[in-house]
Amino acid sequence: MWSALHYLENRLRNPLPGLPAQLRMMPDPPPPGQKTYAETGDDCLHGAVLALIYPRGGKAHLVFIRRPLTVVHHKGQIAFPGGHVEDVETPAEAAVREAWEEVGVIPGNIRLLGALTPLYIPPSGYCIYPFVALTEIPPAFVPQPGEVDEIIETPLEHLLDENNLRTETWTFDIGPRQVPFYAFGPHKIWGATAMVLSEFLEILRSIDGLRSHLPASPDKELLPS
């Protein structure tokens, strides 16, 4: 499995799909104050998130969390594990630490594969630095009280199926918006999380013949084509 994921790790070192892939999941019209990460000049708070690939039942999954209604930002929304980058750490270190704190992912069990494109979130004033990691060991997730209301384990093949990409009209304080999202059961993955996910899924789709490089093992479905 590790040798097969060499292809994904290498792909993350090459030019990324970037802003165009992110914008596919941007609400329309965009929220007030929306600008690109480049336009912020890095004049923002810094946060990091982790897109963790792991096996469950012989298939690749990503883990998401649902924020409680008591947090300051993004109340009740679905997100990748992540949080604020402290002054003493890099964004990558913060992403791994937050995954450990929020869902109990043991840092020594994961391999960091690379970074996705940063993006700016106007409501919170954060620039988010997304990272991709993998573990061969199915995690025993433990939600952090006060930070995580629910852990959502989502098969990658479900997210790659464009039949699960939807758009609805939602009404906000600033007016109605067309909101694209990934549907998974009762959950709707939208906003910044969907923008990060959109780029990641485009990268996966760009890796030709990845399935043929995977070993014949119980985890052979780890990265669906």
List all residues 6 or more positions away from 162 whose beta carbon is below 8 Å from its beta carbon.
Answer: none
* Grouped pLDDT means (10 residues each) for the chain, 225 residues: 67 95 93 85 93 92 86 72 96 98 96 96 91 94 92 94 95 90 96 97 80 42 50
The total number of structural domains that make up the chain: 1
Nearest to 138 by CA among 110, 163, 98, 113: 110
Q: What is the pLDDT of residue 218?
A: 43
Backbone angles phi, psi at 108, to 5 degrees: -70, -10
Q: What is the pLDDT of residue 4?
A: 53
In a domain? residue 225: no
- Domain residue limits at 35: 6-213
In a domain? residue 146: yes
Q: Are 59 and 224 in contact (CB under 8 A)?
A: yes
Q: In 40-50, which positions are buried (b, 16+ CB within 10 angstroms) versus exposed (e)? A: beeebebbbbb
In a domain? residue 218: no
Nearest to 181 by CA among 203, 159, 199: 159
C-alpha distances (whole Å) from 125 to each of 16, 32, 44, 122 are 24, 12, 6, 5
CATH code of residue 125: 3.90.79.10
